[in-house]
Chains A and B, each alone.
Chain A
């Protein structure tokens, strides 16, 4: 689904240049549930930006669904984002002056779906996430968990192939975090690829593959079988704390 090879990216501010990604190669197959970890400055946000076609890269290659994504026009990128990608954010990022239903329906607006039809579809998705009764509520009337579920419904409505989540549980308490992860897992079962960026080990441990970034390169990759021990080591750490 996602194939990255030898990806480089640096930022230029004035005379300074910051080499953020220093040759990253990565494969994510369809239906995988991957988490990216790393300390701040390790390049995880930059990587997510590039994965989300929100930013360009300098060299290397990035294929999404078999299509090379490189030097796309803003317009093409927007269309691609709209049709193949879904985004979930740490701070939910619902539009504050739109109610839950309108927020969920927004991606369809950019697909040109008529108002009535997209609102109906939005209600279906809200129903699926158990928020049908909250459809008319504004974001500030909802709890964090509810907001994130609205955001998930919004990410799902365009039936994306890949969902990119930037710290989806970062603003939630443990209980709600686990609920959200359960929902993501269920979505993952429907063969939707999910990539999350997180710094919480317990959240990362719920995914199929953990990619650890360190100073712009992949430092560690923990897959399936090793996850159990990762989980254990993490739980042990926690117990000591």
Chain B
């Protein structure tokens, strides 16, 4: 296969036929380039939107209480529903519930440590909250069952609080004052998604209920389901609703009595849209690729036609049909591979460039606004290299195939006839 002389012959031919080479190369490079840009853009859109789901578990359900809007069993409209730990216990026992945490908000308080202070939000929860919110523990540990049992005055603080109040001091084991109540810091959390913010102190729910005289009242419930489908998730949603309605005596059809947000439903919906968009992008991409293939095939047909005379000469001088086909095919493969590589390189460079610029922009935005960024629609618009390379190989193979038929025909024509064809 590797015959230096053969390659010299091919390179010589390419060098002397620049326009032909350029035309073939351009159609291939353009096809691959467009494919890269399209797939990159599709990926960017999909990455951007799915990144918005990163802050929380994808199969999480949030439930909060509201006021009834329908009369039921003699109760009047406008009755406020109050969740308690009984709701927590009842829902925890239901099927397909993975993690569950009740929450009780204490609201904004002044946090102080030494001479540093600031206003932060305090929230109480169960240990499962870690997995529901997808928090990352960067230092120390999260709340555990023993903390709850003993109603310990311990707190997990957000990274922003640590930065603001503790600076270089190791916060673990230190006492932070919330209002006038000291809490022992046991851990620091961060968020995967910086836009979620880390400006909260998390304490055990039992501690909060005792300290703030809440009895067994809670504000809301957050839970995740075990690995289940969308329809099953909807069933759970309904079961929970019915259960709460039964215990709090409101009409199960009452849409306003409690609030419920199912992230899986949202996630699945969004992902459905994205698989549709993805399919569309692929459709266009394949269309572009086919256009490229047709372009290459056309040019190969013309090339062979144009070279009929040369092929006749070569045959008369002792070229075997195999060597003629080899000459044309290798030239075609060489051109399409090189051009495909250039197209791929340019396409990937462009997408990586956009990615780089966007990331730099996000960095400055996050730096300027502290933590909260807007919802991202476009992120990391890059293409899987494997897809890029297989697309290129496909195009090269198509070019070779397109060249093969006319090359074979040209190799079998009678030289004298080819040479008389003026």
Within 8 A of A (CB), among B401-422: 412, 414-416, 419-420, 422
**Residues on the A chain within 8 Å of B420, using CB:** 45
Q: Are B419 and A93 in contact (CB under 8 A)?
A: yes
- CB pair A54–B318 under 8 Å, yes or no, is no
Chain A 195-212: CB-based contact to B (< 8 A → 1; otherwise 0): 000000000000000000
B349 at the interface (CB under 8 A from A): no
Q: Chain A residues near B412 (CB, 8 Å)?
A: 74
B416 A95 Cβ-Cβ under 8 A: no
Per-residue CB proximity of A96-115 to B under 8 Å, as 1/0? Answer: 11100010001101111011
The count of residues in chain B whose C-beta lies closer than 8 Å to any C-beta of chain A is 28
Tell me how far the C-beta of A1 lies from the nearest C-beta in chain B, rounded to whole angstroms.
Answer: 19
Q: Are A52 and B416 in contact (CB under 8 A)?
A: yes
In the complex, whether A30 has a CB less than 8 A from a CB of chain B is: no
Contact across chains for A107 and B317 when beta carbons are under 8 A apart: yes
Q: Mark B321-341, 1 if CB is under 8 A from A, else 0.
A: 111000000000000000000
Given contacts A89-B419, A97-B16, contact A82 B5 (CB under 8 A): no
Q: Once bound together, how far apart are the Cα atoms of A106 and B8, in whole Å? A: 13
* Residues of B with C-beta under 8 A to A106: 313-314, 317
B17 with A93: CB separation less than 8 A: no
Q: Per a CB cutoff under 8 Å, which of B16, B17, B320, B414 touches A49? A: B414
Give the interface residue-count category, chain A: 20 to 34
Known: A93-B309, A95-B310, A97-B17. A166 touches B317 (CB 8 A): no
A55 to B412, CA, bound (A): 10
Q: Which residues of A contact B (CB under 8 A)?
A: 45, 48-49, 52, 54-55, 74-75, 78-79, 81-83, 87, 89, 91, 93-98, 102, 106-107, 109-112, 114-115, 154, 158, 166
26 A-B residue pairings within 8 Å (CB atoms): A45-B420, A49-B416, A52-B316, A52-B416, A55-B414, A74-B321, A74-B412, A75-B320, A78-B318, A78-B319, A81-B315, A82-B318, A89-B316, A93-B313, A93-B316, A93-B419, A96-B310, A97-B16, A106-B314, A106-B317, A107-B317, A109-B5, A110-B318, A158-B318, A166-B416, A166-B419
